[in-house]
A and B are shown apart, each in its own frame.
Chain A
Amino acid sequence: MTEYEHVTDDMEAVVEATELPPRLKTEVYEALDRKAAESDVTIEQATDIATGVENRYIETRVDPLDPVGTVSAQSIGEPGTQMTMNTFHYAGVAEIDVTQGLPRLIELVDARKTPDTPMMTVHLDGEYATDREKAHEVVWSIEATRILALGDVSTNVADMLVRIDLNDDTLLERWPTHSDPSEVAAIIAETIEDSLGVNTRQSGTVVEFGPSEPSYRELLQLVERLREIVFKGIEEIERVVIRKEEIDGDEEFVLYTEGSAFGDTLDIEGVDASRTTCNNIHEIYRNLGVEAARETIIDETKNTLEEQGLDDVNVRHLMLVADIMTNNGEIDSIGRHGISGSKDSVLARAAFEVTVNHLLDAAIHGEYDELDGVIENVIAGKPISLGTGDVDLRMGSRVVSDD
């Protein structure tokens, strides 16, 4: 007996007799249950429904021996001709430039170690998501804060001193846990001492320091290095944009970052690690594993296509590309250095790129080409083992038997 009130045993028997997968059977039960609650459903109708769904299911299966790989490759490659080449495009967030179009698609299938324009979408937890102050706290712990954001830097050549006039309000804003600006200034002074190896003098929000021996060059170098110091936040992240967005009917703050440091960001208090994403598939792979990387490849390719108005490409094609890229348990690129370069067949590799080297190496390693794949068999002039070439059925004459 099912847990559905209005589904009779007979109906269940009818549905169970179909070839449907559990997912669809459940759907049929639910629909029958809903309908049977409103009006009578005869067993004949239930049978019709079950066969109807089953037929529709069977009809929409992918055909066995279908060369789905080539079809998917074409379905992604063909719209490539319609995409723009313009690298920069304003994405959903006008303030952050993101590589779009064909260059981004190429970057994804190349599995580039770092994307041209790394970025993260950081979702927030609980009150961090709703309270602007709290959200800003997260911003300040992500965005790299350098000295120029905190105050004015001046050099006093006569005394060989670098003088930093810190801005009270900025300090308190970026270090919300402190209420005294000079406390923060002390922290800053300490950071400077640690990273530049100089002694600093701090009074209030003014910090001064200079080279150990008076040297004009040294002084200028110190200023240069001072500008590079990250006082708060994550070094890789140049800028964070905060936006209020409506998600599932609720308004919440979402952060968009220029630059990415996925692992570090996930550890920050207030960041919702379950929804935060990053456009660098390798960072996702390192922090969340290969399944997440696969999902990211699908999402990123899908978004790239959608951004170009090619939203009609079936996701299943993108899934297949993502699956072959992650089939090894790590990310392989599409091309000479990845999937095509690591094929078993010498001829397939030689026919793709760097022909001669592959042949010479094959000779040294005494390789044997089994002629399994497609390209090898095209080269050898044999039928390929895909589609109708994979069926051992041939036309022949009928042998007349005695009986």
Chain B
Amino acid sequence: MQTPKVLGGIDFGLMDPETYRDMSATKVITADTYDDDGYPIDMGLMDPRLGVIDPGLECRTCGSHSGSCNGHFGHIELAAPVIHVGFTKLIRRLLRSTCRECGRLALDEAQRDEFRERYERAEELGDDQHDVLKAAVRQARKASTCPFCGEPQADIKHEKPTTYYEVQDVLSGEYSERIAAAMQPDEEEDDPGTSPQELAEKTDIALDRINEIMAGEFRPRKEDRRAIEKALDLDLTEEDMNKLMPSDIRDWFEDIPDEDLEVLGIDSQDSRPEWMILTVLPVPPVTTRPSITLDNGQRSEDDLTHKLVDIIRINQRFMENREAGAPQLIIEDLWELLQYHVTTFVDNEISGTPPARHRSGRPLKTLSQRLKGKEGRFRGSLSGKRVNFSARTVISPDPTLSLNEVGVPDRVATEMTQTLNVTERNVEEARQYVRNGPEAHPGANYVRRPDGRRLKVTEKNCEELAEKVEADWEVNRHLVDGDIVIFNRQPSLHRMSIMAHEVVVMPYKTFRLNTVVCPPYNADFDGDEMNMHALQNEEARAEARVLMRVQEQILSPRFGGNIIGAIQDHISGTYLLTHSNPQFTETQALDLLRATRVDELPEADGVDDDGREYWTGQTLFSELLPDDLSLHFSSSTGDDVVIENGQLVEGTIDEDAVGAFGGEVVDTLTKEYGETRSRIFINEIASLAMRAIMHFGFSIGIDDESIPPEAEEQVDDAIESAYERVQELIATYEAGELESLPGRGVDETLEMKIMQTLGKARDSAGEIADQHFGDDNPAVVMARSGARGSMLNLTQMAGSVGQQAVRGERINRGYEDRTLSHYRANDLSAEAHGFVENSYRGGLTPEEFFFHAMGGREGLVDTAVRTSKSGYLQRRLINALSELEAQYDGSVRDTSGRIVQFEFGEDGTSPVKVSSGEGDGIDVDGIVDRVVDAEFSSDDEKERFLGERTPATNLSEHTGPGGTKATETGVESDD
């Protein structure tokens, strides 16, 4: 077996043409790919020396078959050098800053030293070195002559993308006309004009010569030209653009000495600038551009292959034409065409260059496009990889599962496998898996013999194969109950979006979860899908069990409280169970507790009128609490909750007690009694609550929001009087008597006051409605207990929906001076600007409905914008902070060792273990008072309080220590 190699580092640089040739498996000279028989053509783009993609064929370079051969580069000898588009800016910079004659950087020694020093300083300080380089280029560009050889420097014009010109001022072709025009007398300007004699005198040029020049028979030399220009105050030059061919540039760059490149921050060893001009084009291996065979047997080539075909065709035409001695114009055209194809081969999204297109009109995806963007190589295939052993399906709830478990459909379990290393001790078990075959669960899909051969288990060979299985074999068995898998719901916004669960294999097609894990995943069951990953080595499985299991994630690091706990109906259930403390008969009580560990009822709370024993809801709830738990807090319902020694003495158990997002009881249990105890409690409270809500029955219908006619009248009155007040405000405003609030205009003030008035109207409508709802109204129960919904929802259903707003204001848009054509222009009244006086139950008028839709639409748009913005924010935050890690010394450093914090969060306190608002979470005074003033009832309690031992981690629902399924139910395992 080959020793796996570990990547130590990656060196970046340019390659020189000789290296391209050396590493090339073959020169590619023909644009054809396959011959008539479908075999790849020699020295073509699909040459088998470049690697193989068809199964069965052998690579002619390394001898391996497709799948094990990574492919090999080939090369094309370009007929003429072409520019690499990625480096056009740098090429421009080099042309401008170096001498066209001797190639040296046009900076004298002092300037070089200065820039070299600045560059090093920038590197040390972590500043942008690019700025220094740019400054050096700018400085060098200023030189009009080379400080080394004295050659005058022409300006360089860059025509995007890949054309460069030298710009020189040369004598204009119409110099004689221009001189004559300047010498003409101009009567209007009172200019007498210049005679040739005068000009000769002024310029010190012989008169004959002047005459010749004026006749256009003699081109004045530079000095004479300057003299004439000065004398006549005119410009005789025009810009001459001399195109620099890539070959010229290449020659130029070859002259640049290594030490000059260092000043410009170019690595002269690995990246000589002339290598930016390509003379040899590497041909990527066939494996990077596999062709696909369509259904009709036709081959469809990859975009890169198409591009390479173009390059080879033009390259050939170029060579043929040059050999045939074609005119320069044709050669230049072909050269440009070759440049175009190489350019688009590298990057097909260059502005100003039409992208190369597929026959169908779709722009080709060439090298840069393969790397870029979300679906590109970097973000799409390197940072995020596709994996085996994963499954995805719809999720549905299952309250009988533990929160640590996940229901896995049998058809998933038979597909995902775990490797079982066969030993003497499990050989029978292993054989049984194989014997069951690939279809029956729990079976096996593959076996691996000690010699490394992998055999597929089939329905036919399973019996036979099972007998052959011995120690040292490997069996890929199906997932079975108790296996650990990773479960994930996207978007994975925090670490609780990926947790480890224990498998429970189940029939049907969905993944099943306990509903208490919905909050961390942010999952619901309206069609959400989730992903499951089966772990493939012991290390990963151990880490998943110890660190990633759901019960280890009960506390959220964001706020240090529990994120897993009772939700929705669980809360309604515990509310109903404890709020008015109802009584239950023995049968009822046992039924309520049937899915918990409790199998014996405590002493009855009393005897009812019929002489039967009864138990109260609070007593039953207390059965789930540890015996030494004492807590005081106030509930969301508004009463004080007192728990003493594991007994709920008074108070309602609702969201603030057992809810996800910081329910007191769950939070305390997790922090003081450990994750395992907390998991048991959450599981049990969820099932007790479900039993309770089923006992009482709980539903909501349209009648639950109806209020008596007299209440409706009161609501109408309240709204009517608000309308009157609004009218008064408008009248004051129109009379110009409205006093504006400080810092606001009158218009704004009016709007604010109207909004206020109408807001109050809605609230009073709500209050009126509230008075008519009993405490047992299901909507009220849900709102009070924190299960779902709010009193505002109820107000809107029964009282009045209220003001609709767009951008925080009353609705003001629509037609000119009015919102809808139903209203008069400039109507400022409540109803014309989106006040919905009806309730949802009563029904909205068409106008109200329309305004309501406007407000609703804004909400939808807001959500859409928000998800994309916050997703990007999240990506940036993660990217910036991902390297930070707490160290053994308590400091926070990045992976290269740079210290960011000397102590995490200034005091080293873990955000998971301490709630956000609690400072460092150490209540010294509390500890002192407790130790000195109160006896501990037991050593256990003392130990728990002083925290001398952390409870042993329970690793599975099925094995100890701590609470397991077996001990939870008090039933001994059967096997």
Contact = CB atoms under 8 A, between A and B. Distances in A.
Interface stretch (A51-59, A154-162, A260-268): A51-59
Interface stretch (A63-71, A174-182, A221-229, A279-287): A63-71
28 contacts: A32-B928, A45-B932, A63-B910, A71-B557, A72-B881, A73-B880, A75-B494, A75-B911, A77-B874, A96-B743, A106-B869, A241-B742, A311-B916, A312-B662, A315-B916, A316-B906, A323-B892, A334-B876, A347-B382, A351-B378, A355-B372, A364-B265, A365-B12, A366-B11, A379-B378, A386-B885, A387-B885, A388-B547
Interface stretch (B59-67, B196-204, B528-536, B558-566): B558-566
A391 to B, nearest CB: 10
B754 to A, nearest CB: 16
Interface stretch (B108-116, B224-232, B796-804, B859-867): B859-867
B702 interface: no
A63 B886 contact: yes
A124 B21 CA distance: 76
Contacts of B266: 364-366
Interface string B902-940: 001111111101101100111011011101100000000
Contacts of A81: 493, 866-867, 870
Given A56-B947, A68-B904, A74 B922 contact: no
Interface residues of A, number: 116
- Size band of the B side of the interface? 35 or more
A265 B939 CA distance: 63
A373 B896 contact: yes
Interface stretch (B267-275, B281-289, B330-338): B267-275
B938 to A, nearest CB: 15
A31 interface: yes
A350 B267 contact: no
B877 A76 contact: yes
B587 interface: no
B885 A366 contact: no
Contacts of A147: none
Interface in A160-175: none
A78 B904 contact: no
B886 A64 contact: yes
A288 interface: no
A4 interface: no
Interface residues of A, dominant DSSP: helix
Nearest to B84: A360
B873 A370 contact: no
B495 interface: yes
A185 B865 CA distance: 53
A153 interface: no
A71 B911 contact: yes
A59 B271 contact: no
Interface string A304-333: 000000011111110111011001100000
Contacts of A27: 922, 924
A200 interface: no
Given A27-B922, A368-B11, 20 more contacts: A28-B924, A49-B927, A52-B931, A60-B910, A72-B881, A74-B558, A77-B493, A78-B494, A81-B870, A85-B869, A102-B869, A109-B877, A241-B743, A316-B909, A359-B12, A365-B265, A366-B266, A369-B9, A372-B896, A373-B896
A78 B383 contact: no
B379 interface: yes
Contacts, number: 347
A95 B742 contact: yes
Contacts of A375: 383, 879, 882
A362 interface: yes
A68 B890 CA distance: 11
Contact of B925 (A24, A31, A63, A385): A31
Given A61-B890, A365-B267, A373-B883, A313 B947 contact: no
Nearest to A354: B372
B898 interface: yes
B862 A359 contact: no
B887 interface: yes
A55 B885 contact: no
B900 A48 contact: no
Most-contacted residue by chain A among B7, B373, B743, B928 (CB, 10 A): B928
A23 B909 CA distance: 13
B870 A62 contact: no
Nearest to B876: A335
A333 to B, nearest CB: 9
Interface string B541-560: 00100010000000001111
A35 B928 contact: yes
Nearest to B371: A355
Contact of B495 (A53, A71, A352): A71
B6 interface: yes
A243 to B, nearest CB: 10
A371 B7 contact: yes
Contact of B874 (A74, A344, A352): A74
A63 to B, nearest CB: 7
Contact of A48 (B741, B887, B931): B931
A77 B870 contact: yes
Contacts of B876: 109, 334-335, 340
A132 interface: no
A80 interface: yes
B862 A60 contact: no
A374 B883 contact: yes
A26 B878 CA distance: 38
B901 A319 contact: yes
Interface in A18-47: 23-24, 27-28, 30-32, 34-35, 39, 41, 45
Nearest to B911: A314
Interface in B293-342: none
A324 B881 contact: yes
Contacts of A56: 921-922, 927, 947
A216 interface: no
B161 to A, nearest CB: 14
